[in-house]
Structure 1
Amino acid sequence: MTAAASARQILTTLHEVMASRSNAQHKLDQVVAVIAESLDSEVCSIYLLREGALELFATQGLNANAVHVTRLAIGEGLVGTIASHIETLNLAEAKAHPDFAYRPETGEDKFHSFAGVPIIYRERAVGVLCVQHVDPRRYEDVEIEALQTTAMVLSELIAHNNLIDDEHARGLGEADGGPRILPGLSLVKGLAAGSVVLHQPRIHIDQVVADDIEAERQRVYRAFDKMRDQIDAMASSVDFGKGGEHDEVLETYKMFAYDEGWGRRINEAIDSGLTAEAAIERVQQRTRMRMREIDDPLLADRMHDLEDLSNRLLRIVSGQLGTAATQGLRRDTILVARNLGPAELLEYDRRRLKGVLLQEGSLTSHVVIVARAMGVPVLGRVEGVLRHVNEGDEVLLDADKGTVTLRPTQQMNELFEARFAKSRERQAAYAEMRDVEPFTRCGTRITVMINAGLRDDMSMLAMTGADGVGLFRTEFQFLVSATLPQRERQTRLYRDVLEAAGDKPVVFRTVDIGGDKAVPYLVNEEIEREENPALGWRALRLALDREGLLKAQARALLEAAAGRTLNVMFPMVSEPWEFDAAKAVFEDQLAYLKARRKLLPEAIRYGAMLEVPALAEVLEQMVPRLSFLSVGTNDLTQFLFAADRADPRLAERYDWLSPAILRFLKRVTNGLAGQSVDLGVCGEMGGRRLEALALLGIGFRRFSITPASVGPIKELIRKVDLAEITEAMQAWLANPPANMRTEMTLWAERHGIDVE
């Protein structure tokens, strides 16, 4: 029997049970009997969340005296694990699972196999539906899908019969009236204040079981057509970022809208007997469960794009089309969503949109690319925010510190406004330094450049007065594309960037993908097997292995830089031969263009990123090869300390002002002293004032940092005497103090330098 037929058989019987006039308990007793018989299972049980614990509410096969007696905490036992993680378990031997917990009153000791699915209401697990069998066996996929579909029907029954206690129901969807501070992950930094607008009012599905399957199918077909028309119109008419990488984000989004596999899964759910709305929600729940299992941030973000479209499709098919974007923003707004797609963000009025709060979200998500270009602060991973806010609540968003204050008191408002005002004053002061050259007190000119990755970032050169682009991340174009970007498209981007820079230099880093920046169209078995992707097949290693990729990029850069100086930098160089191999690809393409009498760059300067510590041990071999060397402090730090920077447990553990890092960097500056190689730093370390002070003290004179950091770092440079900080750093590195950060802060205060 197919999954659809099995589920439809169960749903037909359940529909009759639900239509009966019996009470809710009797209905649940009938439900477990129906499922046990349909799946030929010796046990079927339903646990519901009551007063914070999962209570056995109905069972077929376990001891009837255990009903309303057996209770499991969230996270306790297999049932508690399913509810806690909102995941499905399918076990041939239940006792072998580390979370197994035996309850003697149930009489379940003779049963070996176990399968369970969460019962979900308003995106929260409010119960568990499970089956058991004496023989050790895994349940078939057809049986698991039947259970998952049945769980959707049960959620409707539970909600309509008030089987979720009032206290828990409030915890699911309603916020209390007091102030609350929630932590989050800073995705786009900045400060903002405004009123809460829920991006997407929750659509409640009133009918789960279909009366006419073919009619439901036609409703979905019409909704798909309408959704695709909307996406096509958005892609062709949106004026924000037109001609830039945002168009490519929308192309990826469009690719999902036309994905046949997605439509097929919804059709299969309708075949099982669900309404169009319930079928879309059923597939969406499965997507959410998959998202929780995905470690790759990029692939997880692609799943978020698909969920964004699912929400759009659900609104269309239900006729509930009123969204915050379509209704318009009437006041300064902090938009709140579980997640947000890039296309939906573009629908909002940027004059009113002051900030975004996401219950999920990550640093690599497409919406972050768009929000950063829009200048909208975004705080992600704000756990439970949708439960804690109401429409219209006042919110203070601090994406610099990674917190949000809901319903602030008057005192909180005043403190935030004072900080906001101080921030605006500082920004104004930094803006006035746009045309001021960053000379130290002792008269040394320091080069301050920006990091960029989008065509739209180039406007920041004029706004900040930076000396150029010290790091242009070419991989952004690859990350937001559904397929490998064609050479012509790459050439257009690079030419536009150079033209926007004018006379200022731009350093193009060749594509740095792989590891935590995987792209689906280059995924293969080797990548999927990597246990330590940060140390694996990525950056220059990948580019040299896929020579066609680097060859196309080399040609695109050479053609785009015709008549100009091309600065090209290779990432993650570990040994000299890797640099030589990458340079040879460029030289081969240069010869190819020269033979065809193409206009060539006036000059080519080749550089490398020092991220892998091994490269520092062969600097004397690299010097004759290099025009410049840039230290990538983010990767260098994780390699030096063997600490994955994506692991939240380690993210703040290792300080950039550790003597280990500073001594390593000092050896690099010593090794290049008196050489013709330009040395710089292009990691996040250079954009922090105290860390920048340390870098100046150990010999760095070239910084490439985020545009927002240019003003603060320029202002810092003008207060520094290099002889003084160099002498202090030499003493500290020779005899490190107990806390370098504290010692340096005190020194800066004594010398009138604000390092906050």
Structure 2
Amino acid sequence: MSAVASARQILTRLHEVMAGRTHAQHKLDRVVEIIADALSSEVCSIYLLREGALELYATRGLNPEAVHVTRMGVGEGLTGTIAQNIETLNLAEAKAHPDFLYRPETGEEKFHSFAGVPIVYRERAVGVLCVQHMDPRKYEDVEIEALQTTAMVLSELIAHKELVDDEADLDLGEPSTEMEIFDGLTLVKGLAAGVAVFHQPRIEIDQVMAEDVEAERQRVYRAFDKMRDQIDAMGKEPEFGKGGEHVEVLETYKMFAYDEGWSRRINEAIDSGLTAEAAIERVQQRTRMRMREIDDPLLADRMHDLEDLSNRLLRIVSGQLGTAASQGLRRDTILIARNLGPAELLEYDRRRLKGVVLEEGSLTAHVVIVARAMGIPVLGRVPGFRSRVSEGDEILVDADKGTVTLRPTQTMLDAFETRFARNREKQATYAELRDVEPFTRDGTRVMVMINAGLRDDVSALQLTGADGIGLFRTEFQFLVSSTLPQRERQMRLYRDVLDAADGKKVIFRTVDIGGDKAVPYLDNNTAERDENPAMGWRALRLSLEREGLLKAQARALLEAAAGRQLSVMFPMVSEPWEFDAAKAIFEEQADFLRTRRRHMPESIEYGCMLEVPSLAEVLDLLLPKVSFISVGTNDLTQFLFAADRANPKLAERYDWLSPAILRFMDRIAKNMVGSKVRLAVCGEMGGRRLEALALMGLGFTRFSITPAAVGPIKELVRKVYLPDLSAQMQRWLLNPPGDMRAELTQWAADNAIDLD
């Protein structure tokens, strides 16, 4: 039997049960019998969330005396794991799962197979529907889909008090009124305060089972046409007429809007007997569950785009048109969403939109690229946040520290406002330094440059007075594109960046993709994923293997820089021969262009990132070949400590001011004394005032950092007397103190250097 037929059979019989005049417990008992019969399963059970625990409310196949007796916490056992993760489990041997928990009163020891799906209400698991069988077997996809459809119906029936007598005792996740603090992942740094506004007001699906399948299908067809018209119109807006990465993001978005497979799955759900709204929600739930199984961050982000479109389609078909953006923001707003599409973020009034909190989100998400360009703080990975917040609640977002405070006290509001005021004063001070060249007190000129990756980022040169772009990340164009960016498109971006820089130096880093920046069109072998992607098939390793990619980028850069200086930097060089191979590709393309009498750059200089520790051991062999070296402190740190910086348990464990890091950096600086090769630091370490102070003491006088850090570092430079600092750093390296951070902080205070 197909998934459609199974689901239709179950829905028809459920409708008959609901029409009966029996009490709720009898209806629940009939429901589990219907599902067990339809799936030929020996056990079917329903657990509901009551007073913080999952309680067995009905069963066919387990000991009936366990009903209303067996309880387990969310996260406890297989049932609790399903509720906690809002995920489906399908196991041939339940006891082999690490979360298996045996409850003797149920009499389930003779059953091997297990499948369970969450019963979701307001995007929160309020129960679990599960089936079991004696024989060890996985349930078929058609059976799982029938279970998921049934769980949706059960959610509606429970919410409308048709299945449970003691509805008031169920935990349906009503928002609290107390102050709460949540931790999250900083996606875009900054501080923000405002009232909570849901990106999409909750759409309550009042009717799940369809009365006229064909009428529901026509409603979906009309909604698809309207949604596609909206997406096409969006591409004509002035916001997208500027070109750049936003264009590639929207093209990927449109690709999903016209995806026939997506519309087919919604039609199949309608065929099973669901209304148009329920069918869209049913497919959307399936998408969310698939997202939790995707390890590839880029593919996961694209699934987020698909969810964004699902929400748009659901609003159209339900008649609840528009997001909060179309209704207009009336006050300073913190936008709340599970996830957010990049196009929809651009619809908001930037004067009122102060911050964004996402239940999901990742550093590579399309919306983060757009938000960073807009200067809007974003905090992600705050699970369950939407179920705890009500529209209009006061919210404080501290994306610097990775926290969000819901319904703060007046004392907290006052303290936050004080921080805001101090930040505004600091920003005013930094703005005054825009046209001031940063010299130390002893007269040493420190070069302060910015990191960039978008065309719009270049405007920060003028705003901050930075000396140039020490790192232009060319991979963003590759990450937001559904296909390999063509050479002409790359060339336009690079030329636009050089034009916008207006003569200031721009160092282009060749593409750093692969590893955790996966792109499907360059996947070497999906069956062989890197277990340690940061140290795997990525950056220059990938470019040298896929030589055509680097050749196209070389041509694009050479043509874009015609008549100007071109500075090229290769990432993740481990040995000098890799630099030689990459440079040879560029020189080959330069010769090709010369033979065709193309206009060439006035000069070309080559450098590389020093982020792989092995390269520091062969600097004597490398220095004669390069014009500059930039130490990439982010990757270098994780390689030195064998600690994945994406792992939250390790993120704060290893200090940039540890003797191991500082001695390594000191050795690099000393090995380059007397060389004409320029040495810079590129990474977050150089943008932190205390760490930058240590680096200056080691001899580093070139920094490439985030635009927001330029002002603070320029101010710091002007307070430093390098001879004293350098002498002190050497004493500490010889005999490291127990707490280098505390010692350096005290030294700065003694020398009237403000590190706040």
Q: Name the aligned partner's letter for residue 369 of structure 1.
A: I
SS state of the match for residue 655, structure 2?
coil
Mark the CA change 1:526 to 1:672 in structure 2 (over 3 Å): closer, same or farther: farther
Structure 2 residue aligned with 1:740? 740
| Aligned-partner residue type, residue 22 of structure 2 | S
Report deviation, 1:404.
2.2
2:566 aligned counterpart, secondary structure: strand
- Offset at 1:149? 1.0
C-alpha displacement of 1:241: 7.1
The match for 1:523 is 523
In structure 1, what residue type is equivalent to 2:176? A
Query: What is the 5 A alignment of 1:233-312?
Result: 233-239=233-239, 242-312=242-312
2: distance between equivalents of 1:282 and 1:607? Answer: 52
Secondary structure in structure 2 of the residue aligned to 1:404: strand
Q: Report the AA paired with residue 632 of structure 1.
A: G
Distance 2:57 2:353 in 1: 46
- Partners in 1 of 2:643 and 2:207 — Cα distance? 50
2-side partners of 1:96 and 1:462: how far apart? 61
Encode CA deviations 1:257-290: one digit per residue, 9 max, x unaligned. Answer: 1112211221221222211111111111111112
Residue aligning to 1:557: 557
Can you list the C-alpha shifts for 1:116-175, whole angstroms capped at 9, x where unaligned?
1111111111111111122222211111111111111111111111747546546x1423
- Distance apart, 1:222 and its partner CA: 1.2
Could you report, residue by residue, the CA deviation over 1:579-626 in whole angstroms, capped at 9, with x for unpaired residues? 111111111110110000000011100000001001111101101110
What SS class does the counterpart of residue 181 from structure 2 fall into? strand
Aligned to 2:116: 116
Give how far 1:687 is off: 0.4
Look up the match of 2:588.
588
Contact 1:48 1:127 in 2 (8 A): yes
- Work out the CA distance in 1 between the residues paired with 2:572 and 2:527: 17
Partners of 1:97 and 1:500 lie apart in 2 by 57
TM-score normalised to structure 2 length: 0.98
Q: Is contact 2:50–2:169 with CA below 8 Å preserved after alignment?
A: no
Equivalent-residue separation in structure 1 for 2:167 and 2:645 (angstroms): 42
Partner of 1:174: 175
Q: Which moved more, 1:202-211 or 1:408-417?
A: 408-417
Which deviations, in whole Å up to 9, do the C-alpha atoms of 1:422-444 show, x marking residues without a partner? 10000000000000000000001
CA contact (8 A) 1:41 1:131 kept: yes
Which piece of structure 1 moves more, 204-213 or 416-425?
204-213
Q: Equivalent residues in 2 for 1:592-611 (5 A)?
A: 592-611=592-611
* Cα drift, residue 473 of structure 1: 0.3
Size of the alignment, in residue pairs? 754
Q: Percent identity?
A: 77
Question: Following TM superposition, by how much is the alpha carbon of 1:507 offset from its aligned partner in structure 2, in angstroms?
Answer: 0.1
Residue 383 of structure 1 pairs with residue 397 of structure 2: no
**2:752 maps to which residue?**
752
Write out aligned runs for 1:334-413 (5 A).
Answer: 334-413=334-413
Structure 2 counterpart of 1:21: 21
Name the CA shift for 1:75/1:511 in 2 (closer, same or farther; >3 Å): same
Q: Deviations over 1:518-547 (max 9, x none)?
A: 112222425752111111000001111111
CA contact 1:241–1:456 (8 Å) conserved in 2? no
Does the CA contact (< 8 Å) of 1:122 and 1:173 recur in 2? Answer: no
2:421 aligns to what? 421
* 1:433 matched to 2:433: yes
User: What residue identity is the alignment partner of 2:182?
Assistant: L
Distance 1:487-1:167 versus aligned 2 partners, 3 A rule? farther
Identify the residue that residue 316 of structure 1 maps to in structure 2.
316
Aligned counterparts of 2:93 and 2:408: Cα–Cα separation in 1:
51
Match of 2:468 in 1: 468
Tell me whether 223-232 or 4-13 shows the greater mean CA deviation: 4-13
1:442 alignment partner AA: D
Distance 1:269 1:249 in 2: 29
Cα contact 2:33–2:60 (8 A) shared by 1: yes
Q: CA contact under 8 A between 1:50 and 1:165: conserved in structure 2?
A: no
State the alpha-carbon separation in 1 of the partners of residues 517 and 545 from structure 2: 17
Q: Structure 2 vs 1, CA of residues 344 and 528 (structure 1 numbering), >3 Å: closer, same or farther?
A: farther
- For 2:147, the aligned partner's letter is L
Q: Is the 8 A contact 2:124 2:387 kept in 1?
A: no
Letter matched to residue 374 of structure 1: M
- Taking structure 1 as the reference length, the TM-score comes to 0.98
Instruction: Say if 2:73 is the partner of 1:63.
Output: no
Bigger mean CA offset, 503-512 vs 142-151: 142-151
| SS of equivalent residue, structure 2 residue 75 | coil
How far apart, CA to CA, are the structure 2 residues paired with 1:722 and 1:355?
40
The answer as to whether partners of 2:161 and 2:167 remain within 8 angstroms in 1 is no
Match of 2:244, as an amino acid?
G
Mapped to 1, the partners of 2:132 and 2:458 lie a distance apart of 61
SS at match of 2:37: helix
Q: Show the counterpart of 1:643.
A: 643
- 1:301-351 deviations in Å (ceiling 9; x for gaps): 111111111100111111111421111111211111121111111111111
Helix, strand or coil for the counterpart of 1:293?
coil
Q: Summarize the Cα distance change of 1:383–1:109 in structure 2 as closer, same or farther, 3 Å threshold.
A: closer
Give 3-state SS (helix, strand or coil) of 1:239's partner: helix
Q: Is the contact between residue 51 and residue 171 of structure 2 (CA under 8 Å) also seen in structure 1?
A: no
The CA distance in 2 between the partners of 1:690 and 1:591, in whole Å, is 46
2:75 partner amino acid: G
- Alignment-mate amino acid for residue 440 of structure 2: T
Deviation at 1:731, TM superposition (A): 0.3
SS of 1:525 mapped into structure 2: coil
1:653 is the counterpart of 2:657? no
Residues 406 and 137 of structure 1: CA distance in aligned 2, closer, same or farther (over 3 Å): closer
Q: Provide the rounded CA distance (Å) in 1 between the counterparts of 2:413 and 2:95.
A: 54
Distance in 1, Cα, partners of 2:230 & 2:25: 45
Deviation beyond 6 Å, 4+ runs, structure 1: none
Amino acid in the other structure paired with 1:17: V
